[in-house]
């Protein structure tokens, strides 16, 4: 009875399959492939590399031929097609049978380059790899002060075995030394003294220890600048270098350097003038002291020196700073004053910067002034910077204390250098409570309740309560945070949370239930305007339920080894960087979020996790914006004998990860062929936001073209494989999708997103989700 039923199902499957093939043309045809001319690779190896162990080739003829070429293992390929089979006549690339080295020095480095470019026994011979090897080896010698030795590379082909023998002979390398440096055109200064100021010098008995006669190409430009500075600092402002010549010896181990220079005329100081805002000096009788700073270094008739002039400028700036002229600066200009003479003009420049006077707040009936002051990056007496004032305004609004902030500037009538700042605040008198119903075609309908009480009791503390449930997952989070616990940068907070996850058999999830209760205490530092750092400790209690005979082998094994309940103590380290220009619909800026979680001693499960999220916006033209987001999550155990807990596994979240695939349908399966997630998740999304060309009232709609890539892995499956095979398996199993999405910021404050996505390489076990809709 069972055999008849199985045959009936099998026949139905093949009828449906060949019917789909007739709908989609040649794209899903079942064909027999025969290879002729294979020596080193088997028929199955090549097909596995192209089709991943399946005989249902999901590609047309052109794609099949392209994949053969992309394997890069054939010198020649000819493909003949008919309705029943494909015949492939090929000539494989030769295999490297032997590599013989004749190298006197740097043998280890040469071997490392050969391994890097896969030039060793058993590898395919590729002329491109040989070229890469030569270029990298020559660069190594050129930038290490050595000559570039002659290389003889002999390739012996064995046509019968289709193999090659490589013989690499490298002449002895030696350090390139400067035998002599000569400068033509020097008449004013001592030539030997000038040469001694260069990075290079002539060979002498001390060169063996100082290594100052070795030739390094990257120092040539530095020596040209040093030679120019030598003359400029001594009054020769017209100095320039005509040419540089290098003459190698016959053995090419020594060379001579010849420079031709034009010294020009020697310039003297003709006059020194002071311009600008001299009133500030006369007001406090500081003019004589200011002049003494200049004329103690510079005198009329002396040789002009740029180095000395820059030193005087620095001294004058220090003088103004000591006398509290913070909003003034010093500049100078040089002018031609006749034959071999220059004049110097010093200018006292009054900048637009002023000092901050009094800072006052109005309208903050519920918030203490001290809370608001902590959001200001300046205090009374600081230099007034409009960017800092604007930043403080946005910080107050973003904190939830105020709906809007107006700023007024009032000049201090008693001191024209000071400006008083008044913050007029429209205070937010109530907390924020939102409740709603959201929908996505992955989760279905979800109930959301969010309560936020910012600036609790007027001391700047935040309280939040989040409840989310969709029938499968339930989250309850209560959080309390004091952003300014001790000073402007130090905060403290805690979270209490509950999470339950019902992996329903009908929803293609693993058939078990777990509940987690936890508490987390953390400390936070604001490193600067964009960076935050926090760390904390917490405790989780997890309980497993609904364990029966229908559960998968993996779940049964884990519960038998570890039990039903778990208590974990963990330590978190978090670093966050956010430089987005706007909270929503950003057009520029970076976002980084790094989380390390380590289970501490006393925990039942000794594991750790690493989470990294990245987001970048770049407005490269008008309203065209490039957006790149990526996520990398990894979890493991301290001991190789333990298993990573399945309830800590990462899952793809459908529309928020790789669009075009149903939620939680990517990644490893358990023994019941149901999704169980994995301990490694990678996801990257590339989007191009384009103008919608809609009326002004519909500007809240953002249109994007996207390309998504990612998957979830169980690294224990590849623990015995090499790094190269691991990377190949990870890359080969990546899932891709592309499409277009529309995001609308609704009047209710919740975004509505509609994404039309097409998955490139979905497997039979995974469900496609071409149209993804999410609200909330």
For residue 178, name the pLDDT band (cuts at 50, 70, 90). Answer: low
pLDDT in tens, 516-555: 999 999 999 888 778 889 999 999 998 887 666 667 777 7
Contacts of 401 (CB under 8 A, 6+ apart): 364, 367, 371, 372, 425, 427, 428, 454, 455, 460
pLDDT in tens, 264-313: 888 888 888 888 777 767 766 778 888 888 888 888 888 888 888 888 88
Q: What gap in Å lies between CA 647 and CA 571, rounded to an integer?
A: 19
> What is the sign of the dihedral through the CA atoms of 372, 374, 379 and 385?
negative
For 23, 646, 670, the CA distances from 502, given in Å and listed in that order, are: 39, 13, 16
- Percent of the chain surpassing pLDDT 90: 10
Mean pLDDT in residue range 416-440: 68
Please give, one letter per residue, the 3-state secondary structure of 119-151.
Answer: CCCCCECCHHHHHHHHHHHHHHHHCCCECCCCE
Bigger pLDDT: 405 vs 24: 405
What's the pLDDT at 144? 57
Taking each helix axis from N to C end, the angle separating 287-295 and 306-322, rounded to the nearest 10 degrees, works out to 160
> What is the sign of the dihedral through the CA atoms of 660, 664, 668 and 674?
negative
Phi/psi region, residue 755 (left: phi>0; alpha: psi -120 to 50; beta: rest), is beta
pLDDT in tens, 114-148: 888 888 887 888 878 888 888 887 777 665 555 55
Mean pLDDT in residue range 731-752: 75
What's the pLDDT at 242? 80
Contacts of 334 (CB under 8 A, 6+ apart): 304, 309, 342, 343, 344, 345
DSSP string, 69-98: HHT--EEEEEEEE-SSEEEEEEEEPPEEEE
Q: For residues 331 and 305, is the Cβ–Cβ distance under 8 A?
A: no
Q: What gap in Å lies between CA 147 and CA 174, rounded to an integer?
A: 6
For residue 675, name the pLDDT band (cuts at 50, 70, 90). Answer: confident
Q: For residues 233 and 306, is the Cβ–Cβ distance under 8 A?
A: yes
Instruction: Say how many C-beta atoms besides its own lie within 10 A of residue 39's C-beta.
Output: 12
Contacts of 289 (CB under 8 A, 6+ apart): 319
- State both tokens at 440: 């996505």
DSSP string, 28-83: G---EEEEES-SSS-HHHHHHHHHSS-SS--S-HHHHHHHHHHT--EEEEEEEE-S
Q: Strands 268-276, 341-350: parallel, antiparallel or unpaired by DSSP?
A: parallel
Mean pLDDT in residue range 145-174: 74
Asked whether residue 434 carries a pLDDT value surpassing 90, the answer given is no
Q: What gap in Å lies between CA 36 and CA 702, rounded to an integer?
A: 54
Q: For residues 345 and 332, is the Cβ–Cβ distance under 8 A?
A: yes
Q: What gap in Å lies between CA 688 and CA 618, rounded to an integer?
A: 10
Q: What gap in Å lies between CA 110 and CA 736, rounded to an integer?
A: 39
Asked whether residue 209 carries a pLDDT value surpassing 60, the answer given is no
Domain ranges across the chain: 1-26, 95-170, 178-262, 268-350, 355-427, 438-775
Asked whether residue 509 carries a pLDDT value surpassing 50, the answer given is no
Mean pLDDT in residue range 152-170: 80
Q: Strands 177-184, 240-248: parallel, antiparallel or unpaired by DSSP?
A: unpaired
What's the pLDDT at 29? 45
pLDDT in tens, 438-490: 454 455 566 666 676 766 666 667 788 888 776 667 888 999 888 777 766 78
- State both tokens at 634: 């990894």
What's the pLDDT at 172? 62
Mean pLDDT in residue range 172-176: 61
Mean pLDDT in residue range 424-428: 82
Bigger pLDDT: 713 vs 397: 713
Among the listed ranges 94-103, 115-124, 202-211, 572-581, which one has the minimum average pLDDT value?
Answer: 202-211
95-170: CATH class? alpha beta
> What is the sign of the dihedral through the CA atoms of 6, 7, 12 and 13?
positive
Strands (E), 337-383: 341-350, 355-362
Proportion of the chain in helix, strand, coil states, percent, rounded to 5: 25, 40, 35
What's the pLDDT at 559? 81
Q: Which residues is 461 bridged to in the sheet?
A: 456
What's the pLDDT at 289? 81
What's the pLDDT at 608? 93
What's the pLDDT at 161? 74
Mean pLDDT in residue range 219-226: 70
Instruction: Say how many C-beta atoms besides its own lie within 10 A of residue 209's C-beta.
Output: 7
Edge-to-edge order in the sheet of strand 163-170: 95-103, 163-170, 151-158
268-350: CATH class? alpha beta
Residue 112 CA, chain-centre distance (Å), reads 29
What's the pLDDT at 535? 92
Bigger pLDDT: 394 vs 740: 740
Taking each helix axis from N to C end, the angle separating 127-142 and 107-116, rounded to the nearest 10 degrees, works out to 140
What's the pLDDT at 264? 81
What's the pLDDT at 45? 74
Q: Strands 328-336, 402-411: parallel, antiparallel or unpaired by DSSP?
A: unpaired
Instruction: Say how many C-beta atoms besides its own lie within 10 A of residue 415's C-beta.
Output: 11
Architecture per CATH, 178-262 = Roll (3.10)
Q: For residues 709 and 632, is the Cβ–Cβ distance under 8 A?
A: no
Instruction: Quote the mean pLDDT of the chain.
Output: 75
What's the pLDDT at 28? 37
438-775: CATH class? mainly beta
pLDDT in tens, 317-368: 777 766 655 556 788 888 877 778 888 888 887 655 577 888 888 888 777 7
Read off the pTM: 0.49
Q: Strands 418-427, 355-362: parallel, antiparallel or unpaired by DSSP?
A: parallel
What's the pLDDT at 719? 57
Asked whether residue 204 carries a pLDDT value surpassing 80, the answer given is no
For residue 632, name the pLDDT band (cuts at 50, 70, 90). Answer: very high
What's the pLDDT at 55? 47
Q: What gap in Å lies between CA 651 and CA 714, rounded to an integer?
A: 11
CA angle (205, 208, 213) in 5-degree steps: 90
Strands (E), 461-586: 461-469, 473-482, 490-503, 512-526, 531-545, 565-578
Fold entry, domain 355-427: Ubiquitin-like (UB roll) (3.10.20)
Asked whether residue 208 carries a pLDDT value surpassing 60, the answer given is no
Query: Is-same-fold flag (178-262; 268-350)?
Result: yes
């Amino acid at each position: 009875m069972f055999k008849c039923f199985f045959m009936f199902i099998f026949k139905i499957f093949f009828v449906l399959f060949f019917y789909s093939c007739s709908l989609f043309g040649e794209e899903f045809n079942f064909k027999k492939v025969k290879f002729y001319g294979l020596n080193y690779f088997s028929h199955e190896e090549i097909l596995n590399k192209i089709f991943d162990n399946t005989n249902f080739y999901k590609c047309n003829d052109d794609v099949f031929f392209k994949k053969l070429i992309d394997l890069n293992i054939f010198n020649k390929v000819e493909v003949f097609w008919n309705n029943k089979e494909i015949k492939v006549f090929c000539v494989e690339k030769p295999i490297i049978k032997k590599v013989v080295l004749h190298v006197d020095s740097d043998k280890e480095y040469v071997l490392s380059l050969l391994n890097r470019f896969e030039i060793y026994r058993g590898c395919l011979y590729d002329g491109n790899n040989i070229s890469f090897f030569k270029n990298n080896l020559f660069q190594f010698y050129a930038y290490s002060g050595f000559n570039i030795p002659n290389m003889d590379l002999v390739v012996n082909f064995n046509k019968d075995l289709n193999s090659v023998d490589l013989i690499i002979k490298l002449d002895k390398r030696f350090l390139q030394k400067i035998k002599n440096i000569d400068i033509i055109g020097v008449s004013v200064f001592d030539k030997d003294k000038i040469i001694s100021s260069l990075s290079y010098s002539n060979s002498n008995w001390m060169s063996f220890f100082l290594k100052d006669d070795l030739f390094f190409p990257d120092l040539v430009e530095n020596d040209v600048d040093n030679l120019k500075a030598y003359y400029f600092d001594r009054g020769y402002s017209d100095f320039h270098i005509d040419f540089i010549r290098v003459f190698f010896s016959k053995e090419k181990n020594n060379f001579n350097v010849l420079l031709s220079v034009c010294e020009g005329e020697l310039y003297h100081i003709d006059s020194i003038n002071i311009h600008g805002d001299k009133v500030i000096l006369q007001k406090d009788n500081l003019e004589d002291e200011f002049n003494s700073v200049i004329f103690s270094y510079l005198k009329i008739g002396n040789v002009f020196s740029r180095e000395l002039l820059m030193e005087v400028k620095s001294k004058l700036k220090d003088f103004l700073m000591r006398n509290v002229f913070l909003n003034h600066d010093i500049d100078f200009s040089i002018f031609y004053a006749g034959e071999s003479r220059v004049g110097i003009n010093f200018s006292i420049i009054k900048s637009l910067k002023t000092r901050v006077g009094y800072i006052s707040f109005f309208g903050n009936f519920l918030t203490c002034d001290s809370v608001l002051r902590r959001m200001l990056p300046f205090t009374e007496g600081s230099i007034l910077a409009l960017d800092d004032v604007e930043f403080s305004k946005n910080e107050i609004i973003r904190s939830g204390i105020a709906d809007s902030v107006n700023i007024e500037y009032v000049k201090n009538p008693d001191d024209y250098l000071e400006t008083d700042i008044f913050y007029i605040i429209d205070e937010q008198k109530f907390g924020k409570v939102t409740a709603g119903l959201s929908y996505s075609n992955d989760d279905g309908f979800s109930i959301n309740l969010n309560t936020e009480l910012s600036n609790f009791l007027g001391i700047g503390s935040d309280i939040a309560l989040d409840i989310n449930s969709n029938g499968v997952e339930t989250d309850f989070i209560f959080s309390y945070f004091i952003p300014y616990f001790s000073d402007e940068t130090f905060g403290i907070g805690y979270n209490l949370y509950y999470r339950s996850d019902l992996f329903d058999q009908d929803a293609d999830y693993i058939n078990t239930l777990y509940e987690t209760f936890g508490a987390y205490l953390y400390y936070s530092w604001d490193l600067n305007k964009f960076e935050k750092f926090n760390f904390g400790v917490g405790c989780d209690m997890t309980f497993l339920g609904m364990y029966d005979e229908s559960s998968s082998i993996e779940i049964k094994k884990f519960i038998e080894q570890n039990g039903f309940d778990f208590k974990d103590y963990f330590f978190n380290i978090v670093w966050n960087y956010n430089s987005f220009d706007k909270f929503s619909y950003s057009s520029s800026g970076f976002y980084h979020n790094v989380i390390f979680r380590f289970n501490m001693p006393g925990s039942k499960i000794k594991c750790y996790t690493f989470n990294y999220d990245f987001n970048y916006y770049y407005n490269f033209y008008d309203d065209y914006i490039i957006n790149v987001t990526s996520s990398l999550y990894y979890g493991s155990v301290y001991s190789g004998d333990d298993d990573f807990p399945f309830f800590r596994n990462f899952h793809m979240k459908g529309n928020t990860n790789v669009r075009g695939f149903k939620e939680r349908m990517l990644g490893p399966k358990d023994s019941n062929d149901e999704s169980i997630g994995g301990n490694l998740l990678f996801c990257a999304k590339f989007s191009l936001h384009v103008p919608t060309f809609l009326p002004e009232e519909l500007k809240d709609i953002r249109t994007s073209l996207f390309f998504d890539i990612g998957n979830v892995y169980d690294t224990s499956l590849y623990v015995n494989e090499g790094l190269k095979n691991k990377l190949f398996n990870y890359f080969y199993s990546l899932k891709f999708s592309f499409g277009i999405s529309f995001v609308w910021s609704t009047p209710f404050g919740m975004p509505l997103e509609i994404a039309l996505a097409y998955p490139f390489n979905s497997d039979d076990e995974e469900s496609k989700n071409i149209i993804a809709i999410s609200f909330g």
